[in-house]
């Protein structure tokens, strides 16, 4: 099939801001016109810092929030304005995994009933019964199926995230939106969950929209990566394009700020000054220009649009960077040998 | 760990610290025999996962536990004075003046009802008999020093008017307003974005050079440790399992847990098509600790049934320098290390 599984066009999500001046219509521009696609069985990473709109994008795509404008097409259906009832049959194919494994499981329900919930709500009778299917799911995510009757508090953070994953898998979805699924976990556990999602992705041919701020984790999970800044996608491309020859100055700054034990000695980091401006009143032209070391007058006047950049990715910048980024290159043959 | 040339004794010396809490389910041994020292001008990184006891250790140095529910033994000598046996009144006089804490979450550590300036002024005037005007001048200086633009105007702003990074800078200004010789930073950058994290870490390192302070940096992020710490202490289930300089511990780890931690962190330079290498299993309960080495149920190299790994708590050896608490013979540990060395000895 040539049509992508998920197609997002000019998606906008604004939130009204309370307590603003009399009569003035003030909005927070969380997502401000983005396009993205996810193919079947593809993994797309959506990265950016807090407040850039990545979580809102994810929530709008699974229609936990209503888009302000734009169009979302999922598996051939226009789901932009569907009501909850009309969405229900599509929910089976479109699931979400949340960030906080403590807040996303009802503490009064047993693990069995949490994982069974999508089946019950969807009135789905799996062959062999609900209980057998739930136990199978628990086994798939690496939990003991005999723990069916236990409550969430009896599990550690990593195990709870496995429960959340089992619940998302219950209806055999085509796309999972995973919103920071490992950022609340300890590093030794984080690696377990990333490996689990990788194996599920391969085994069931799942497509993932993986939302994260940790660039090293995204690199291990996603074939394509989109970088967001203040409600816009500033760069999108294949993994090697984004990590090896990033073209947007912001992508470069993000990558170079990652504290990496394996960074070669003398690795110079790009130090951004200042904080992210407020999304209520974003800068004119390029939104990154207030923190960018390459900004010129044109950047304030003309908003850059995504276009093919020097490194192969699509980049929204008037003065994109060319060539590899020092310090985050894959190891050279000599380094591996030494 | 190295000793600073100007003092006979390191500024902070912790010896055989044990912290226990009584809970409904039993006694939690949050910290179990921890010893280390930090001289002025040096940064010790304490690394561990949730429940390893790293935060409890730092809270005990400031004596911030509820004394009715907490049992603390051992000694914590700050500038030669033992915090553990000191009356609360005296500890209070030292807190903020000789030692200060930078907390993880600047949003919940600043009072939302008071301006940033008022909170810094108060911290200064508790320990110094100065007028409000003098203290205000000092607060503006500090805000300027930590990189807050227009400090003379921002001093009258409320915390919610600051961004996350600015709040963390304000917290640092408040912690440093009395020139404390010991600074404890508990996950100071975890709540921040990477680009802001880089700024804050740079600021801490600058301030240390300027004030020659002793810093304890509590973190779960080995990348952060490698960037700013001089020495490292790795904790697991309330115990020290490895200690040494950053180079020793991160480049040639001795303990299988440290090796496992280093292995499980994804890097920007490894092969992205390979699976990550996590540590199997989950961290233990501090109420029902595994016998012997607390890490043995998760350790891929443990010596099996009846071995000391399962029966004896390992000592931290040798007595000084690069130390580790593991029963495995040195040759075996060298093999484990060799298996990952290609990932560690880059550049």
Q: In angstroms, what separates the C-alpha of A4 from chain B's closest C-alpha?
A: 24
Our separate counts of H helices and E strands in chain A read: 11, 12
Q: In angstroms, what separates the C-alpha of B256 from chain A's closest C-alpha?
A: 13
Task: With CB atoms and an 8 Å threshold, state whether A195 touches B344.
Answer: no
Secondary structure of chain A: what % helix, strand, coil (to 5)?
35, 20, 45
Task: With CB atoms and an 8 Å threshold, state whether A187 touches B199.
Answer: no
Chain CA centroid to CA B119, Å: 25
What's B107's DSSP letter? H
Q: For position B341, what pLDDT does the model report?
A: 63
Structure-block tokens of residue B302: 């443990």
3-state secondary structure of A2: coil
Chain A residue with Cα closest to B52: A186
d(CA A176, CA A200): 11
Nearest 5°: CA angle at B211, between B206 and B213? 95
Percent of chain A with pLDDT over 70: 92
Mean pLDDT of chain A: 89
> What band does A267 get if pLDDT is binned at 50, 70 and 90?
low
Q: In angstroms, what separates the C-alpha of A258 from chain B's closest C-alpha?
A: 6
> A198: which chain B residues are within 8 Å (Cβ-Cβ)?
275
Q: Is B195 on the interface with A (CB under 8 A)?
A: yes
> B199: which chain A residues are within 8 Å (Cβ-Cβ)?
271-273
Report B:31-50 residues touching A (Cβ under 8 A): 49-50
Task: With CB atoms and an 8 Å threshold, state whether B269 touches A194.
Answer: no
Residue A24 pLDDT exceeds 80: no
Task: With CB atoms and an 8 Å threshold, state whether A328 touches B268.
Answer: yes
Q: Over the stretch B150-167, which tens digit does the pLDDT of each residue have?
A: 899 999 999 988 888 888
Q: In angstroms, what separates the C-alpha of B95 from chain A's closest C-alpha?
A: 31
Task: With CB atoms and an 8 Å threshold, state whether A189 touches B164.
Answer: no
Q: For position B345, what pLDDT does the model report?
A: 47
Task: With CB atoms and an 8 Å threshold, state whether A261 touches B265.
Answer: yes
d(CA A43, CA A20): 40
> A271: which chain B residues are within 8 Å (Cβ-Cβ)?
198-199, 202
Task: With CB atoms and an 8 Å threshold, state whether B345 touches A219.
Answer: no
C-alpha pair distances (Å), B73 with each of A86, A117, A246, B95: 63, 49, 53, 20
Q: In angstroms, what separates the C-alpha of A186 from chain B's closest C-alpha?
A: 6
Q: Is B164 on the interface with A (CB under 8 A)?
A: yes
Structure-block tokens of residue A149: 């009757």
Q: In angstroms, what separates the C-alpha of B236 from chain A's closest C-alpha?
A: 12
- Look at the domain B1-98+180-347 and name its fold: Rossmann fold (3.40.50)
For chain A, state the CA radius of gyration: 21
List chain B domain ranges.
1-98+180-347
d(CA B309, CA B318): 18
> A273: which chain B residues are within 8 Å (Cβ-Cβ)?
199
Closest CA to A270 of A286, A255, A284, A285: A255
Q: Who's near A200: CB < 8 A, 6+ residues apart?
A: A140, A141, A165, A169, A206
Query: In a mutagenesis test of the B interface, which of A186, A198, A270 is the best target, namely the one with the most B β-carbons within 10 Å?
Result: A186
Whether the Cβ atoms of residue A178 and residue A144 lie closer than 8 Å to each other? no
Report B:101-160 residues touching A (Cβ under 8 A): none
Q: Is B344 on the interface with A (CB under 8 A)?
A: yes
Burial B123-140 (b: 16+ CB within 10 A, else e): bbbebeeeeeeebbebbb
- Please report the number of interchain residue pairs, chain A to chain B, with beta-carbon separation below 8 angstroms: 138
Q: Over the stretch B257-280, which tens digit does the pLDDT of each residue have?
A: 999 999 998 888 888 888 888 999
Structure-block tokens of residue B340: 């990952």
3-state secondary structure of B200: helix
Task: With CB atoms and an 8 Å threshold, state whether A276 touches B163.
Answer: yes
Q: Who's near B101: CB < 8 A, 6+ residues apart?
A: B58, B62, B64, B175, B183, B184, B185, B186
Report B:281-310 residues touching A (Cβ under 8 A): 282-283
d(CA B52, CA B283): 9
Q: For position B1, what pLDDT does the model report?
A: 42
Burial of B89 (0-12, 13-18, 19+ CB in 10 A): exposed
Q: Is B25 on the interface with A (CB under 8 A)?
A: no
Task: With CB atoms and an 8 Å threshold, state whether A195 touches B276.
Answer: yes
From the list B198, B267, B275, which residue is nearest A198 (CB)?
A: B275
Q: For position B74, what pLDDT does the model report?
A: 96
> B198: which chain A residues are within 8 Å (Cβ-Cβ)?
257, 259, 269, 271-272
Task: With CB atoms and an 8 Å threshold, state whether B199 touches A335.
Answer: no
Q: In angstroms, what separates the C-alpha of B212 from chain A's closest C-alpha?
A: 24
Closest CA to A292 of A248, A330, A335, A242: A248
Instruction: Give pLDDT tens digits along chain B (347 positions).
Output: 444 444 468 999 999 999 999 888 889 999 999 999 999 999 999 999 888 999 899 999 999 888 888 999 999 999 999 999 999 999 999 999 999 999 887 778 899 999 999 999 999 999 999 999 999 999 999 999 888 888 999 999 999 888 888 888 899 999 999 999 999 999 888 777 888 888 888 888 988 999 899 999 999 888 899 989 999 999 999 999 999 999 999 999 999 999 999 999 888 888 888 888 899 988 888 888 999 999 999 999 999 888 999 999 999 989 888 999 999 999 999 998 888 766 554 43
Q: Who's near A56: CB < 8 A, 6+ residues apart?
A: A13, A30, A31, A65
Q: Who's near A23: CB < 8 A, 6+ residues apart?
A: none
Task: With CB atoms and an 8 Å threshold, state whether B346 touches A264.
Answer: yes
> B346: which chain A residues are within 8 Å (Cβ-Cβ)?
262, 264, 331, 335
Whether the Cβ atoms of residue B17 and residue B76 lie closer than 8 Å to each other? yes
Chain A residue with Cα closest to B247: A261
Whether the Cβ atoms of residue B181 and residue B99 lie closer than 8 Å to each other? yes
Q: Over the stretch A192-236, which tens digit does the pLDDT of each residue have?
A: 999 999 999 999 999 999 999 889 999 999 999 999 999 999 999
Chain B residue with Cα closest to A49: B193
> B262: which chain A residues are within 8 Å (Cβ-Cβ)?
261
Q: How many CA atoms lie within 13 A of A175 on its CB side?
A: 24
Whether the Cβ atoms of residue A101 and residue A164 lie closer than 8 Å to each other? yes
Q: Over the stretch A126-167, which tens digit does the pLDDT of each residue have?
A: 989 999 999 999 999 999 999 999 999 988 888 999 999 999
d(CA B154, CA B144): 10
Task: With CB atoms and an 8 Å threshold, state whether A275 touches B196.
Answer: yes
Q: For position A108, what pLDDT does the model report?
A: 94
Q: How many CA atoms lie within 13 A of A135 on its CB side?
A: 10
Q: Is B272 on the interface with A (CB under 8 A)?
A: yes
> B163: which chain A residues are within 8 Å (Cβ-Cβ)?
275-276
d(CA B276, CA B274): 6
> B267: which chain A residues are within 8 Å (Cβ-Cβ)?
216, 260-262
């Amino acid at each position: 099939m040539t049509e992508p599984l998920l197609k997002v066009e000019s998606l906008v999500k604004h939130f009204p801001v309370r307590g603003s001046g009399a009569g003035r219509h003030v909005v927070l521009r969380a997502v401000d016109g983005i396009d993205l696609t996810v193919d079947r069985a593809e993994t797309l990473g959506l990265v950016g810092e807090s407040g850039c709109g990545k979580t809102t994008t994810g929530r709008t795509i699974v229609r936990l929030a209503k888009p302000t404008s734009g169009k979302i097409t999922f598996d051939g259906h226009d789901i932009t304005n569907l009501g909850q009832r009309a969405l229900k049959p599509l929910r089976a194919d479109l699931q979400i995994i949340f960030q906080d494994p403590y807040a996303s499981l009802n503490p009064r329900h047993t693990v069995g009933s949490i994982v069974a919930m999508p089946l019950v709500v969807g009135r789905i009778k799996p062959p062999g019964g609900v209980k057998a299917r739930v136990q199978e799911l628990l086994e798939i995510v690496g939990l003991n199926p005999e723990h069916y009757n236990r409550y969430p508090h009896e599990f550690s953070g990593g195990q709870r995230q496995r429960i959340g994953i089992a619940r998302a898998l219950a209806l055999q979805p085509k796309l999972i939106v995973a919103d920071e699924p490992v950022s609340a976990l300890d590093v030794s556990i984080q690696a377990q969950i990333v490996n689990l999602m990788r194996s599920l992705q391969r085994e069931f041919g799942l497509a993932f929209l993986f939302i994260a701020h940790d660039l090293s984790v995204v690199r291990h999970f996603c074939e394509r990566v989109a970088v967001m800044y203040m409600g816009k996608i500033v760069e999108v491309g294949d993994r090697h394009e984004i990590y090896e020859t990033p073209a947007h100055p912001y992508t470069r700054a993000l990558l170079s700020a990652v504290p990496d034990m394996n960074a070669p000695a003398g690795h110079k980091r790009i130090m951004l000054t200042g904080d992210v401006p407020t999304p209520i009143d974003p800068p004119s032209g390029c939104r990154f220009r207030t923190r960018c070391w390459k900004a010129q007058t044109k950047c304030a006047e003309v908003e850059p649009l995504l276009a093919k950049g020097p490194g192969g990715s699509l980049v929204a910048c008037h003065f994109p960077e060319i060539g590899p980024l020092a310090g985050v290159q894959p190891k050279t043959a000599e380094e591996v040998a030494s | 760990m190295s000793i600073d040339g100007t003092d006979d004794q390191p500024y902070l010396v912790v010896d055989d610290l044990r912290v226990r809490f009584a809970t409904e389910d039993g006694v939690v041994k949050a910290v179990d025999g921890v010893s280390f020292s930090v001289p002025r001008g040096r940064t010790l990184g304490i690394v561990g996962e949730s429940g390893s006891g790293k935060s409890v250790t730092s809270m005990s140095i400031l004596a911030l536990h509820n004394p009715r529910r907490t049992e603390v033994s051992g000694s914590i000598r700050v500038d030669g004075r033992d915090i553990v046996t000191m009356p609360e009144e005296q500890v209070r006089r030292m807190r903020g003046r000789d030692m200060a804490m930078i907390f993880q979450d600047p949003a919940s550590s600043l009072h939302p009802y008071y301006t940033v300036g008022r909170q810094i002024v108060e911290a200064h005037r508790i320990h110094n008999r100065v007028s409000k005007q003098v203290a205000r001048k000092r607060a503006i200086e500090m805000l300027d020093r930590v990189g807050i633009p227009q400090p003379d105007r921002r001093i009258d702003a409320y915390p919610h008017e600051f961004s996350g990074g600015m709040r963390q800078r304000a917290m640092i200004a408040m912690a440093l307003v009395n020139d404390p010789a010991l600074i404890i930073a508990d996950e100071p950058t975890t709540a921040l974005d990477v680009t802001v994290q880089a700024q804050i870490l740079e600021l801490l390192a600058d301030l240390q050079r300027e004030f020659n302070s002793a810093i304890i940096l509590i973190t779960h992020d080995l990348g952060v440790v490698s960037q700013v710490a001089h020495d490292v202490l790795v904790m697991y289930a309330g115990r020290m399992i490895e200690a040494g300089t950053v180079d020793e511990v991160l480049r040639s780890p001795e303990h299988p847990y440290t090796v496992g931690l280093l292995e499980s962190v994804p890097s920007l330079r490894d092969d992205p098509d390979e699976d990550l290498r996590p540590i199997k299993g989950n961290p233990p309960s501090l109420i029902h600790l595994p016998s012997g080495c607390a890490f043995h149920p998760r350790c891929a190299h443990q010596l099996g049934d009846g071995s000391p790994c399962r029966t004896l708590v390992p000592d931290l050896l040798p007595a000084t320098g690069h130390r580790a608490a593991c029963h495995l013979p040195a040759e075996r540990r060298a093999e484990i290390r060799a298996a990952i060395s290609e990932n560690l000895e880059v550049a």
